Structures are given as C-alpha cells and as structure tokens.
Amino acid sequence: MKTYRITLNIQSAFGTPLMGDTLFGQLCWAIVHRFGESRLNALLEGYDNQQPFAVVSDALPQNHLPLPTLPSRFWQEGGGKDRKKLKKKQWIEVKDTQQAVTLWQQSAKAEKEIFAKENREQPHNTLNRLTASTGKDEFAPYVMSQIWYKPSTLLDIYIVIDETRISLEEITALLTDIGTFGYGRDASIGLGKFSIEQTEAFDYTKANANAYLTLANCAPQDLGLNKERCFYQITTRFGRHGSLAVFSGNPFKKPIILTKLGAVFTPNKWEEKLFIGNGLTGVSYGQTNAVHQGYAPVIPLSIHFE
C-alpha cells in the first residue's frame, strides 16, 4: 500500500465537515455510480479483516499535520504560557515535525493563523401548501449551519491506497466526481464543491519511531496497544446513509464511538504501518452490508515516555 497527499481547492461552503470516515462513505457511493455495485463489493472483501482498499484522512490545512493529543507534561515550555491560547494551537507544518516531538507545541499554529473559516447560519423556510406560507411546528422557519472558507482555500487529504485493487487515477476520478456533485449535506443546493489542485506521493519517516499519530477518526480495538501510552479524545458519530440508501426507509446508522484526529497510539511491539484501526460492520439497522471506516492513516512518532 502507498500513501498519497491530495490537495483540494475549496469551491463553496460546506454543510458537513470534511472528515475521513464521511468522505470514505461518499467514495464508496462514487464507486457504485462510476463502476457499479459489483466493483464496490469486490473492493470491500476483507474490509473488516485489516484489508481496506483505501483509508482516507480528514481534510487538514495545506502542508500541516495535527498536533498530537499529549498531556502537557510532554511539551517543552516555550515563551507562551497562556493555556487557552496554547489549546488553540492544534496544527504544525510538516517541515517542523522533524524536530523532537517535545518542541512541536512551540511551532504549532491556531487554525485562524493558517486560513480563514467561519460558521454561518442559513435560514430556511418550509411552506404549508394549503396556506402558501410558513406557520408553526413543522412549517416554522429554521436555520442550518454552514462552513464558509476563504475563496480557493487549499486543504490536504491523505489516502492510503492498495494499488493492486484500485489505482490512483481511479481514486482521483472518484474524488473529482464527489467534488463536482458536492460532498455532504445540501450538496443538491450547491454545497460541498471542491476541485483537485495537486496529487503527490507522501513518504514520511521518523528515526527511532515508537508510536502512531492518527490523521482521522479511528477504532483502535484489539491492536496490541500499550494502553498506558495511548492518548486520545473520543467522539460519537451519528452516521446517516448517503445517495440511494437515504430512501431505504431508515436513513440513520447506529451510533459509533471513535477516537478523534490526532490520537497517539503506542504498540507493544513496533511495526511500520501506513494505517491502523478496524473496518466496522453491523453499523446499519437496515443495510446489513454497510461498513464504516474505523481505519486512520498514520505517521510515525518518536516519543520519550520515561
């Protein structure tokens, strides 16, 4: 398998954050629409047995990686001691990650230092066809949040691909389809548009590596990890089916607890890996063959725990 970095040029507002597990789900539907359901079924063989055909990261600021989720004792103190400001510094440039991990916080940046992004509320109306106006209850006006980026903002996603099963050219075509038709909520009214700016192989090495840094949500069960040297925050994903499965009768998936982007996992025995995690099945009430990406691309870390 091989890791590629694909740079996206953001073309519109988004109704859904660009997260790896959601993007993987939409990638699966793009495969169905472009190549047929039989191709997707073939690609998903072994998915729940450490054999994913692709593992997708969250969208990250261009040329930046997430700051590891480590307790404060691991960071070497610098000039700034305002804990509120330090908590907002969650991104570090790739070129700065070759220094000792203890120094990363001193080089980290807050998101607003890298690009402009804000959440806005978009009003919506639901018309009562009998009165030709809004009203109460289900006909009351409501708002939905949207994520707005500065025009032509560039974001990176990292994709680990099994090129014996799917090619980079096919992945690029599928992402182009998603960016053209729209990603996530309200794609049908113009949200979630992006184009591909650049594609490149991504090779990242670290001397004396002993831990993994995740670049997406992850399901780390049964991976032979040293629990005392793992640090993470958790999130609950309330998934929904996409594309044609929305009309299956029950669009909602079962809630899933995952670790967030930036988790640090230390194995009992070190192995070089491009991804860790698990492929999750049994996640849908109505679609028995549905899966959820519990895998995450990783980069190696060298951490002095003693």
Q: What is the pTM of this model?
A: 0.91
Long-range contacts of residues 137-145, Cβ cutoff 8 Å, at least 24 apart? 144/15, 144/185, 144/186, 145/15, 145/119, 145/120, 145/121
pLDDT tens track for 160-179 = 999 999 999 999 999 999 99
pLDDT band at 79 (very low <50, low <70, confident <90, very high): low
pLDDT, position 243: 67
Structure-token pair, residue 237: 């994903």
Q: What are the strands, taking DSSP E only, across 223-282?
A: 234-237, 256-259, 264-265, 275-281
**Distance of alpha carbon 174 from alpha carbon 128, whole angstroms:** 39
Highest mean pLDDT among 128-142, 244-258, 278-292: 278-292
Other CB atoms within a 10 A radius of the CB of residue 253 amount to: 21
pLDDT band at 134 (very low <50, low <70, confident <90, very high): confident
Asked whether residue 244 carries a pLDDT value surpassing 70, the answer given is no
pLDDT tens track for 3-60 = 999 999 999 999 999 999 999 999 999 999 999 999 999 999 999 999 999 999 999 9
| Cβ pair 10, 115 in contact under 8 A | no
Kindly tell me the burial class for residue 140, based on how many C-beta atoms sit within 10 Å of its own C-beta (0-12, 13-18, 19 or more).
exposed
| Cβ pair 60, 114 in contact under 8 A | no
Asked whether residue 81 carries a pLDDT value surpassing 70, the answer given is no
DSSP 8-state assignment for residue 19? -
C-alpha to C-alpha distances, 105 to 82, 89, 246, 259, 286, nearest whole angstrom: 12, 7, 43, 21, 45
**Distance of alpha carbon 132 from alpha carbon 136, whole angstroms:** 13
pLDDT band at 245 (very low <50, low <70, confident <90, very high): low
**Domains, the chain, ranges and CATH?**
2-119+145-301 (3.30.70)
Structure-token pair, residue 158: 């990292």
Helices 168-181 and 20-35, interaxial angle, to 10°?
100
- Least trusted range by pLDDT, from 55-59, 91-95, 143-147: 143-147
| Cβ pair 214, 56 in contact under 8 A | no
Question: In terms of Cα–Cα distance, which of 283, 288, 233, 278 is closest to 254?
Answer: 283
pLDDT, position 194: 97
The per-residue pLDDT of the chain, averaged, comes to: 91
Asked whether residue 153 carries a pLDDT value surpassing 90, the answer given is yes
| Cβ pair 263, 301 in contact under 8 A | no
